[in-house]
Structure 1
Amino acid sequence: MLITANQIRAARALKNWSQTDLAGRTGLAVPTIANIELGKQMPGKNTIEKIIGAFSIGGIKFTPNGVEFDQDDIVTIVGDDKFVDILFDATTILENKSAKERDFLVFNANEELTTPEEDVIYASMKAKGISMKQIINEKAKALPRQYAQTCAIPSKYFDDKGAVFVYDDKVLLYTVADQLSDATTHIITNHRMAEVFKKIFSYMWDNLPEVKSDDKKKGRK
């Protein structure tokens, strides 16, 4: 999908995002965004996808004639490579919350699939005071990093084809088929549902054994 500089500016206006805000949610440099909006730089496919992805997660969709709020409570994104957009969104939202509201909760995630790029973002989240708590397979081959608190569930309850992520008012349901490129994430924005998942997570967290971290172990290359 092609988008114009005017659409990007309009989308930022709807969300009240500065160019710096958009940069933080896409991993792009502020000058890059400024040059695109000024028409001095033609964005490539990957750059356009990052921008569209950031706004999609933020509840904005691009139309043939402009931009508008996405009225759906559920947004679906496809592709494992889009997960970094979610992490940028979580970072931007949570770093502005009070300390007790800065939890990024992960259930049933496969540690082996963590990319080096995601590792960097997770470390940045910790540096910004965001608390990542994850519940993983007790037999995970890649041990958790020092940026996360970790508990483990018995392997018979673990399914590496799906995971649940919760932060702020969002519940993310991640599933993957045979190819990571076909991975699908359904983003549900609903305060009450998020609170329910947080309570379920807290119960499991209080009753599962802790796993010590090891930042020397690496996930997916």
Structure 2
Amino acid sequence: MITPDQIRAARALKGWSQTELANRANVAVPSIANIELGKQKPSAQMLDKIYEAFLLAGIVFTKNGVEKRSFDERITTFSQEDFPGQNLYLSVLEDVYLTLKDLPEVERIWYVFVPIDEISPPAVVEQIRKIRSAGIQIRNIVNEDDTYLMGDFDEYRLIPKNLFVNSISMVYGTKFAMTLDSSFEKPEPGAVIIINDENAANAQRGVFEVLWQTLPKPEKSTAREKY
């Protein structure tokens, strides 16, 4: 379990204010202040959110304190070993929301190769609704056989099934992310890689745009609910 001293040290290492950490961890600012002062005993869920926010930013907690990851800071990886039993895709979706929500409208576009909407658990559906509520445009490239489409047809393009891979990849802002070790039988990813590099993101965005402009839109949906 991380300590108040480690939280303060991690903030200092990143140059974050308490407000910045609170926004990234999706907790109240007074909670961060009170935790660091030892006035509030945080729940395990709140500590997980704080831990996750730092992990996504390249900070790891050690027995002796905190440290930055030794590899390229533009690359963040985390796995089920970091968050046992959690759906790592939710962590990526929260990063999509935080990265895009305050950008100019023309830049608030989330490009994503996505598996079937039908297998998305309720928590993922709610997180996508949160993303949409921030005015973020979504461009989904899905398997041509997928008819369970919870968004508007304009938000989808159909890729031939022989070219579709059931591994989520996406571009948002200056970031390119992908999931590993997922399948139709086990959609929750075993690991996630996020590359925060403008050139890498723009290269992947270009590929998405070519596909977006050439692939067909869907014409039917069997979805029982909408985002």
Structures share a fold, TM > 0.5? yes
Which residue of the partner structure matches residue 83 of structure 2?
Answer: none
Equivalent position amino acid for 2:78 in 1: I
Equivalent position amino acid for 1:199 in 2: G
Q: Give, in whole Å, the separation in 2 of the partners of 1:214 and 1:25.
A: 35
Which residue of the partner structure matches residue 196 of structure 1?
Answer: 203
User: Relative to structure 1, is the Cα distance of residues 75 and 42 closer, same or farther in structure 2, using a 3 angstrom cutoff?
Assistant: same
Q: Give, in whole Å, the separation in 2 of the partners of 1:55 and 1:147.
A: 37
Pair 1:166-2:157 in alignment = no
Pair 1:124-2:125 in alignment = no
Which residue of the partner structure matches residue 58 of structure 1?
Answer: 57
Which residue of the partner structure matches residue 88 of structure 1?
Answer: 94
Offset, 1:47: 3.3
* Contact kept in structure 2, 1:60 and 1:69, CA below 8 Å: yes
**Pairing 1:17-28 to 2, within 5 Å after superposition:** 17-28=16-27
Aligned CA RMSD, in angstroms, stands at 3.0
Query: CA offsets per residue over residues 129-188 of structure 1, 9 Å max, x none?
Result: 21111101122253133598111112222222x121111221112122664566211112
Which residue of the partner structure matches residue 186 of structure 1?
Answer: 193
* Contact kept in structure 2, 1:9 and 1:37, CA below 8 Å: yes
Number of equivalent positions: 217
- Report the secondary structure of 2:204's partner residue: helix
- Report the secondary structure of 1:145's partner residue: coil
User: Relative to structure 1, is the Cα distance of residues 159 and 61 closer, same or farther in structure 2, using a 3 angstrom cutoff?
Assistant: same
Q: Give, in whole Å, the separation in 2 of the partners of 1:98 and 1:205.
A: 21
Q: Could you state the TM-score of these two structures normalised by the residue count of structure 2?
A: 0.79
Pair 1:138-2:144 in alignment = yes
User: Relative to structure 1, is the Cα distance of residues 83 and 41 closer, same or farther in structure 2, using a 3 angstrom cutoff?
Assistant: farther
User: Relative to structure 1, is the Cα distance of residues 208 and 148 closer, same or farther in structure 2, using a 3 angstrom cutoff?
Assistant: closer
- Report the secondary structure of 2:103's partner residue: coil
